Structure 1
Amino acid sequence: MKKLIPIAVATALLLTACGNGNYAATQIPEAPKPAPTSAAPPAAAACDKTTELQSYAPEGALPAPMQMPDGTTMGKIQARGRLIAGVSADSLHLGSRNPISGQIEGFDIDMINAVADAIFGKPADGQPHKVELRVISSPQRIPSLENKSVDIVARNMTINCERWKRIAFSAEYYRSGQKTLVQRDSTAKSLQDLSGQTICAPAGSTSLDNLKKANPKIKPVTADTDTGCLVLFQQGKADGISGDDTVLAGDAAQDPYAKVLTERISDEPYGLGINKGNIDFVRFVNGVLAQMKTPPAAGGPSEWMKSYNTWLGTDLGKLTAPPTAAYGR
């Protein structure tokens, strides 16, 4: 079936980067290599499939907003006046630019705003969060943390041992899974039915690695962004897209000629990425996530559940609880 619809509108939205609040977001063309340092990096903890989701436990109660201890990573962020976060601007429902307001919004952005509010306090109604959102591609996530051009990354990033060698992660804040998007009239039921076909996955992603392992007979092609894969799919240069179900749900919402196969080929636990030397900040962020996941004493959904229901619940179904944090590092 030939498609007569335009290329994803999100592509045009990526051409201009503007920030959340009063700070101009920076679209980073290429993250520079980390500057050499004489200080030895923290020793890497042992990591395997039984421990890779373990992060650093929070230490006591969170300090009050605007009362971050001197010398801490949080204190430095407070002194700067804003949290700098690496995010996506083209992953619908996770981090994407609202075409009406021009603001980047989504589930991942809610996680970032909660961290900023814990440092600076919640803004008054109508006022922006003290966050600078920097639009980065999938391959730029880890380098941006290593060279400290951002404080934190919230860009549907899977926690795994290989990445723990270079950065630190928060506790798991969402459990995604890899699926495949194809044309609506496709008869395929699984990746095995797509042998010989061209499937797109973002460069530098676990989705690309999983795709190659799941069916070596597939012809993989990459793009730097989620929208890049959607563009290739809509141009007929890719027969499908393989990626996180969160991202593919957003792709399908933008293309009425697409569908997502039910086959789930992996679990993808998301963590917030942080420079591996800033362990105090990891512990702080984990304290923020723990608060978000806890329902209020008066009853009702937690802040985490409210965010999930707002951005992901309609497409991905009802959840009874957020993922449980694992500590032990």
Structure 2
Amino acid sequence: MIIDLHIHSNHSSDGEYAPEEILQYVKRKNIKYFAIADHNTVSGYCKLKNYNQGISTVMIPASEFSTFFGEHEVHVLAYGIHYEDQALISVFETINKNKLKQAHARVKALRNLGFKINFDDLMEHAVGNVPSGVTFLNTLLKNEDNKTLLSEYIEGEKSYSPYTSFYFDFFAKGGLAHVHVPLIDIGEFFDKMNGRAVFSMAHPILNPGNIMPDLFDFPFDAVEVFSSYHNSEEVRLFRSVADENKCFYTAGSDYHGPNVKPNIFMGVDCSLNPAIMEKLLEAIDRRNLYLYNL
């Protein structure tokens, strides 16, 4: 059985394809269960919630939340959410307000590094979305004066995956233009959302090892063991971590499109791990949460 519980559409601002295009790919790949888990929004999956075409595919409404544990950004995948949930709307409002503060601070940091960029141009390129690393790079590249500083992302060694490389080089912790603007505290997130979703720790390899034990003080139901970020050894490691913390497993590609994340393809073969969907569906049913048969 092929599933994919971590797909990004262009509603993430760093995804390339519209939800309708993703659905067609899901159909071609015969993906039985999938989730459009856009960053801090449900507008992507909402495009498909009334798309009843009898294609024998189940869409699990989801979002990937950017929470902060101290100075560390921790991504939480929430499954079975409802787009009209007032707690969910409150979380999005908090995150989006802080994302705009973060964007202002990032513009200032980039200007201090010698780049030519202004906030109004950035928002124009965001096309109604909160700016992402993709938006920043696209905005910078519109100005010829920036291209010398960004040559390695255009035609150099980082041109193979320019958007991901740019994000980690500039905006991730330790990056040249990193600013500490927590989007939402992980404790506040779980206080508001506990019981309103099934929660999985996204791509845990990106979380510093020293904070991992403390993260399980929060009500995670699952760990994204099967991820495009993980090699076979890391899969074994995070299976063990999940087992120790009485969590089940989830599986997702973290697909954004070939320009944003090259060589990451939609669909995870879970034929040898049928319990992945069994556990998730049981948890969704137990909490009276949501899914859509398409």
Decide: shared fold, TM above 0.5: no
Greater percentage in helix: 2
So what's the TM-score if we normalise by structure 1? 0.28
